[in-house]
Every structure is written in C-alpha cells, then in structure tokens.
Structure 1
C-alpha cells in the first residue's frame, strides 16, 4: 500500500475514533442524566426500554473503538491492509468501505458463506 493511502486511512481512523469516543461520552451523559421517577408504569417501561437501547448502542461504540484501535495498531506494525486469512493485500475500495476490516473481500465472503451454512 502506498504511503498516501496509509496517511488517508490513518486520518480516517483517527476521525472515526474521536467520533466514536464523543458518541460514547454523550451516551454516558444521557444515562447519568436520566434518573427520573415515574408514577406511571408505562412511562417507566418506556424509559427502561430506551435505556436498554442506549446501552446497546454504547456497547457497539465500545466494540468499534476497539476495532479502530486495532486497525491503528496494524498500521504501526505494518500489517494494515493485509488479510488475516490469506495474507493478500486488502483492496483500497474495501478499506474505504470498512477501514477496520481484517479480511479481504474474498475471505470475508467465504466466512459469511460458512456462517450461513452453519445456520442452516
């Protein structure tokens, strides 16, 4: 991969990391601000449902942050853009679509196919 591509992806990943961290912080602020008492059980149930949804979003953000940091680490050790399965280079279009990916499109397609077969 060319240096200009690496620079592009480093900037992209850094921006993604900052956004994910800000979103995570905002989610935590929302959770701590919502210590309301509800007289109506339906209102309480709605609030609990919203809280569970917010926690799921926060968990997804946490996992994304971990993947972004891993991708940045792969940049530092020179393995960014190399497929974990086959060792081939991951195409720039694939990395633009999913910069945290560890698999080339062929290996990812095979993985998804295998998962579908196991589900059947």
Structure 2
C-alpha cells in the first residue's frame, strides 16, 4: 500500500530540486521577470506531474486487489490507511485545479500579484506556496473575515 508520507510539501520540495538546483528567484532581480515566470511555470508543471504520478500509483494499488486481512483488527487498520490515502489524493486533486489556475495567471501576466490588492505577493511566499493568490496580509484579513462569519 502506498504511504501518505509523500504529502504536498514533499512533492513540491522534490520538484524544486529537480527543476533548478542552481537557480532560486531572488530579490536582486526585477519582480516577475521572464526567468522567474519560467521558473514558476516549470515548478508548477513538475508539481502537477508528481501529483498525477502519485495518484496513478494509488490507483494501481487499488486495482491490484482487495485487502485480504484475516484478522479484523488488521483489516480495520488497512481500511483506515486506505481512507487516509484516498483523502490525501482528493486534496491533491483539488490542488491540481489551483496549479492549473496559477499556470493560467502566468499566461495572463497576473501571476505573483495579489488578487485582492494588486500588490506583489513576494518571492519567498511564492517559493513556499506557488499557488498563492494573495499577499500574507490579504490572506490573514480573508481568514479573519471567514472566522467571524463562521462564528455568527
């Protein structure tokens, strides 16, 4: 059975190492220049490819056959593990749509700029979370508003 240890962060870090071990976008360059856009495009594409690969491995494991654990406790444990694995894959499926949206923003020239304020999101935030659509400040304000509306 596949492990759920290869979460989004591990996959993203692996993509970064494969993509450009000798280049990291820096503040000494013009913000969202062609080289930075190419870096983030390739990073997003590699991240998406890695997610699809992991999903394919999960699908293959599911097709290999049902669990045949003799002990009820072992069977319950295996079913719990599969449930966690499938929830992880569902979360990654949703992440793929965010990756596609980020790629469209690169194509339209909007990538790297906050969808709320229009300000630059910042390279450090984009390196950490390439699908970010808001600055840290705008994201925090959004989360505060969300929390207030949930409390009502």
TM interval, short-chain normalised: 0.7 to 0.9
TM-score by length of 2: 0.71
Counterpart Cα distance in 2 of 1:117 and 1:64? 26
Within the alignment, does 1:72 sit opposite 2:103 as a pair? Answer: yes
Match of 1:56 in 2: 87
User: Does the CA-based 8 Å contact 1:23-1:61 persist in structure 2?
Assistant: no
Counterpart Cα distance in 1 of 2:34 and 2:67? 52
Counterpart Cα distance in 2 of 1:45 and 1:97? 36
TM-score by length of 1: 0.88
Compute the displacement of 1:36 (Å). 2.8
User: Does the CA-based 8 Å contact 2:99-2:131 persist in structure 1?
Assistant: yes
User: Does the CA-based 8 Å contact 2:67-2:78 persist in structure 1?
Assistant: no
User: Does the CA-based 8 Å contact 2:98-2:131 persist in structure 1?
Assistant: yes
Task: Find runs of 4+ consecutive structure 1 residues off by over 3 angstroms.
Answer: 115-120
Structure 2, unaligned runs of 5 or more: 1-31
1:89 counterpart SS class? coil
Higher share of residues assigned helix: 1
Compute the displacement of 1:46 (Å). 1.2
Match of 1:2 in 2: 33
Within the alignment, does 1:108 sit opposite 2:139 as a pair? Answer: yes
Counterpart of 1:18 (choices 49, 52, 70) is 49
Compute the displacement of 1:3 (Å). 1.2
User: Does the CA-based 8 Å contact 2:51-2:92 persist in structure 1?
Assistant: yes
User: Does the CA-based 8 Å contact 2:116-2:134 persist in structure 1?
Assistant: yes
